[in-house]
Structure 1
Amino acid sequence: MTTATTPPAAPPAPPAAVAKERSRGLPIWANPRLGLVIVIVVLVALFSSLTPAFLDPRLTLAPLQADISVYVVVGLAQLAVLSLGHMNMAVGRMAALSTFAMGLAYDRLGVPLRVGLAIGLAVGAAIGALAGLVITKTGVNSFVVTLALDFGLLGLVTILYTRATDGVAFAVKPAGLAELRFDTFADYCLGEVCGPRIPLVVPFALVAVLAVGLLFRYARLGREILMTGANPVAAQLSGIPTHRRVVAAHALSGLLAALAGFLLAANNGAFSANIGESFLLPSFLAPVLGGTLLAGGAVSVLGTVLGATLTQVIYKGLNLLQFSLEDLKLYIGLVLLAALSLDRLRAMLAERRAVS
């Protein structure tokens, strides 16, 4: 007598595989990146019709590019740990402490601009690696660890600036900082149509975008980080050193936070204690709007660029329309909520159409 045996159930697919499989069955108009592009184009048209100053190359477009560069890198800093399903609540304070190290090196050691940048990036990576090490050794949730780190760094940054400077910023500005703030590349033209000048800080963000994109798409380290985020147990059983990948992802997050702090310091023209205060919310908005999964295992670098662009276009447009600070925050929240809702609605309709 024979008995039928039920084959073992297949293991659940990781989030990245599920997202990729779903995206294959969706029409092109349901792509979240395409949706962000459409929303950005509509908002640019709306703001430019309401206030012609929105298209002013010198007063609006060049500063807008500089702001987008900062918040693209901020979004990438959060994306680095979202790839694991983690959070970095201390991204702003990591930027603040890193830029303090840069300012101190410029003020006391007189190092060149690039050397100070390297010092700051090393400090940011070290702080991020420390956070990752604490998470792996203690098993405490990344939210708790980085939130505690945020409070600790807040006090440390305040103490350091109080003791190292007479006020809240370093008085010495390294050679080349003013050029990064004010200079742009030459106009680029297609026939008789010329585009806006490109600030010198934009290439820093482009290099970061390219490096992070290549890391997660082609490098073994990036793929193993994503596998760790998708299923830590399966990744460990397959031989991936998951603890090291967690530390590496958090170190990358700290390094990118430091770069964002440097770019903001260049835009402001000073290394001050308030750098990074506004980083936390945009660091989540950019990657999440762009399609990065909070659960880990799937990231979108291009989507992060578009998400950062969307938030800064909204901010700049409402600012030009002379909204007060309170109204500005309210309307930015409402517009972003509407954008997220419409994007989700579009995806649901596309999924239903694909199934039927």
Structure 2
Amino acid sequence: MKQVTLSKENILGLIAIGLFVLMSISVPGFLSSNNLTNMMFQLPEFGLFALAMMVVIVTGGIDLSITYTAALAGVAIAILSSNGYPMIIAILGGIAVGLLCGLMNGFIIAKIGVSPILVTLGTMVLFEGLILSITKGNSISGFSPEYTLIGNGYYLGLIPLSIIIFLFVAILTSVLLNKTVWGRSVYMVGSNPVASLFSGVNNSKVLMKVYLYSALLATIASIIMTSRYNTVKVDLGSSYLLQSVAAAVLGGTEIQGGYGKVIGTLYAVMIFQMISSGLNLMGVPRPIVTVIMGVILIAVLIINFIKVKADENKQKKLAETA
């Protein structure tokens, strides 16, 4: 009889379903239309940051600047909009600024060879300083009504437009990673950059595109957030920085690179969103919710580390007995 095995993504999907049932039964108001609507509006912005982080982590890197990339792109949109430019020009300007941020990260990491954590930590501080210099620490608000529809509008009066945008980006990301030469190269670079180089892969070109794509996703998240809140400020989406790392890792992305799937990240985002929403409904203070998210991240990292070591020991024993 053939043994049935579940992938870690499938297991995570079952956990997400179980958690939804548990929250529905045990948390009053979890299934209310107001709470479900709030979760549907919050999930796209969180999910986009998580996907942006996942793509980078697959290469063995990390991007600590994604939330400030988003904030700087949002500031660019606000400034262009407030100076009378058409909304489409303002959005394109914001995307250009976001891509410039990604280009800076990618160039220093891929071409110069500086560690991703050091580069993105530096650019995080740089982007934050630029935003503070432009805004003087204040928020910028007053977007056009058409723009606010992106984050607050519905399709057919039922489905938030932001959810549709997020699902489109998630499908696109999955196709790019699994069905294109670039996507296969991303996994190769993350698994073994030396081997991929000798296989004819242009590692630096692959990494440049990864950080550009990560910045693009962060910018799309910025568009959704600024249109939803009708304001932009220096800490726009800053709470999602560590949560995006946690979601990517919980979703099965190997922190050392080489493996990661969009569907796993989506399940992890749903789990975090349900936990956050459920704890808020139970009256748990927001700082405690953040602590719980941190504990989950640390626990997942420890479990993954133990699993990797166990697999390495198993391979050694097999090699010795061969």
**Pairwise same-fold verdict (TM > 0.5):** yes
Match 1:47 to one of 8, 13, 23: 23
Q: Structure 1 pair 345/44, CA: closer, same or farther in 2 (3 Å)?
A: farther
Compared CA separation, residues 146 and 342, structure 1 to 2 (3 A): closer
Q: What corresponds to 1:175 in structure 2?
A: 145
Task: Report deviation, 1:74.
Answer: 0.4
**Is the Cα–Cα contact under 8 Å of residues 95 and 124 in structure 1 kept in the other structure?**
yes
What SS does structure 1 have at the residue aligned with 2:284? Answer: coil
Q: Do the aligned partners of 2:251 and 2:266 also contact (CA within 8 Å) in 1?
A: yes
Is 1:144 matched up with 2:118?
yes
Q: Which amino acid aligns with 2:12?
A: L
Change (3 A) 1:146 1:337: closer
What is the aligned-residue identity percentage?
Answer: 25
Aligned length: 311
Structure 1 unaligned runs (5+)?
1-24, 188-196
- 1:326 is matched with 287
Pick from 26, 36, 39: which aligns with 2:12? Answer: 36
Structure-1-length-normalised TM-score: 0.79
CA contact (8 A) 1:35 1:343 kept: no
Deviation at 1:341, TM superposition (A): 7.6
Q: Is residue 76–residue 301 contact of structure 1 (8 Å, CA) maintained in 2?
A: yes
Closer/same/farther in 2, CA of residues 334 and 237 from structure 1, 3 Å limit = closer
Normalised by the size of structure 2, how large is the TM-score?
A: 0.87
Pick from 216, 220, 230: which aligns with 1:259?
220
- Alpha-carbon distance between aligned partners in 2 of 1:66 and 1:230, rounded to the nearest angstrom: 35
Q: For 1:38 and 1:337, how far apart are their aligned partners in 2?
A: 22
CA distance in 1, matches of 2:114, 2:154: 45
SS of 1:28's equivalent in the other structure is: coil
SS of corresponding position for 2:145: coil
Q: Evaluate the alpha carbon distance shift between residue 49 and residue 335 of structure 1 in structure 2; reply closer, same or farther with a 3 A threshold.
A: farther
Structure of greater Rg: 1
1:76 maps onto 2:58 in alignment: no
Identify the range of structure 1 (265-274 vs 315-324) with the bigger mean alpha-carbon deviation.
Answer: 265-274
Residues 250 and 263 (structure 1), Cα distance of their counterparts in 2 relative to 1, 3 Å cut: same
**In the alignment, what sits opposite 1:9?**
none
* Partner SS for 1:85: coil
- Contact 1:32 1:343 survives alignment (8 Å): no
CA distance in 1, matches of 2:258, 2:295: 29
Select 2:105's aligned residue among 117, 122, 131: 131
CA 1:110–1:175 in 2, change beyond 3 Å: closer, same or farther?
farther
Structure 2 gaps, min length 5: none
- RMSD between aligned alpha carbons? 2.7
Q: Distance in 1 between matches of 2:39 and 2:71?
A: 22
Cα separation, 1, equivalents of 2:261 and 2:21? 26
The residue number in structure 1 matching 2:248 is 287
Structure-2 change in CA distance of 1:296 and 1:268 (3 Å): same
Q: Which residue of 2 aligns with 1:64?
A: 39
Is the 2:59–2:190 contact (alpha carbons within 8 Å) kept by the matching residues of 1? yes
CA, structure 1 residues 82+32, in 2 after alignment: closer, same or farther (shift >3 Å)? same
Which residue in 1 is equivalent to 2:278?
A: 317
Cα distance between partner residues in 2 of 1:215 and 1:102:
27
Q: Map 1:1-356 onto structure 2 (within 5 A).
A: 27-29=4-6, 31-57=7-33, 59-112=34-87, 114-162=88-136, 168-186=138-156, 197-334=158-295
CA distance in 2, matches of 1:342, 1:288: 11
